[in-house]
Amino acid sequence: MRPTKKRRVLRRILILLVLAVLAGGYGWWSNITLQTAYFDPAFSDLPTGFDGCRIAVLSDLHGAEFGEDNAALFDAVAAERPDYIFYLGDLEDRYRGPAAGYPEQVAEGLCAIAPTYYVTGNHEWAIGGVPELKERLTEHGVTVLSNEALVLERNGDALVLAGIDDPNGYADQKTPQELAAEIYAAYGDPFWLLLAHRNDRFEGEYSLLGADLVISGHGHGGIIRLPFTDGLISTDRTLFPSYTAGLYEKNGSALFVTRGLGNSGPSFRLFNRPEVAVVTLHRGG
């Protein structure tokens, strides 16, 4: 091989190696650095006292840590000064298993910022010990919603916040339809929010319950975000899923889905950084 030709080959190999390192570095960086995203849904019947209410929406940590003891996560949430924090399940990961003290660490960190509300995801039920996990979170300040509803009050007005356990929960647990019926029986026709882990149940089930806004996680933003799509892969490994990130509407009900924070098992994110979502409710529209 002539020296000039040999140099060209070596140069190409070096360029490819540099590109590979840069791509690997970007992939690693985009899985460990937080992105704060803002959403502003408007509702004509939102109680006036909740106009401007800021909600930090988190989901799908899967045992991840952002900074030592999740300090970077807590700092990012605190910087947004939320009125409430909603956590949508999959706190830990079934493939890596629970880490000692992790739920308590997350609970204490979030509750020090704002009132925190939690519903289970599928991974909690796959790991097991859900009743004990709920007790531990409750002991550290979290309000766990297990197929139940409560009233939130702000600036002299009220709305109903409901939360359901993941469908992987107990076979005889209260159904979403039964919970919705209880809400209408107890509160008439309130403005209400529903916390439900599974984004993929919105169109066929949750949108039919009558909630003004359903808030979900689970979809991991479609894992690999591509232009003009809702992501490439669902968490069930189907291609081109729907309802994976942001705001949607169906059957008179709105949906917000956060892209979430962590990864399950050996999976990774691409063009899809871990998200701290800030949803600000507005009266109008």
Q: What are phi and psi of 250, to 5 degrees?
A: -160, 140
Structure tokens at 280: 């600000």
**Same domain (yes/no): 18, 133:** no
55 vs 14: CA distance, rounded Å = 48
Query: CA 272 to CA 220: how far, in whole Å?
Result: 8
Domain span at residue 143? 35-283
Q: What's 273's domain CATH number? A: 3.60.21.10
Q: How many CB atoms lie within 10 A of CB 182?
A: 15
Residues 179 and 242 in one domain: yes
**Statement to judge: residues 167 and 180 lie in one domain:** yes
Question: How open is the CA angle 267-221-119, to the nearest 5 degrees?
Answer: 90
**What are the start-end ranges of the H helices in the chain?**
3-32, 71-79, 102-111, 122-127, 130-139, 176-187
Show pLDDT as tens, one digit a residue, over the chain (285 residues).
566 777 777 778 777 777 777 777 777 777 889 999 999 999 999 999 999 999 999 999 999 999 999 999 999 999 999 999 999 999 999 998 888 999 999 999 999 999 999 999 999 999 999 999 999 999 999 999 999 999 999 999 999 999 999 999 999 999 999 999 999 999 999 999 999 999 999 999 999 999 999 999 999 999 999 888 999 988 988 999 999 999 999 999 999 999 999 999 888 888 999 999 999 999 996
- Is 29 exposed, middle or buried, given 0-12, 13-18 or 19+ CB atoms closer than 10 A? exposed
Residues 135 and 228 both lie in one domain: yes
149 and 26 fall within a common domain = no
Within this chain, do residues 22 and 58 fall inside the same structural domain, yes or no?
no
Q: How many domains does the chain have?
A: 2
193 and 171, same structural domain?
A: yes
CB-CB neighbours of 81 under 10 Å: 11
User: Does residue 85 share a domain with residue 26?
Assistant: no
Phi-psi region of 3 (alpha: psi -120 to 50; beta: other; left: phi over 0): alpha
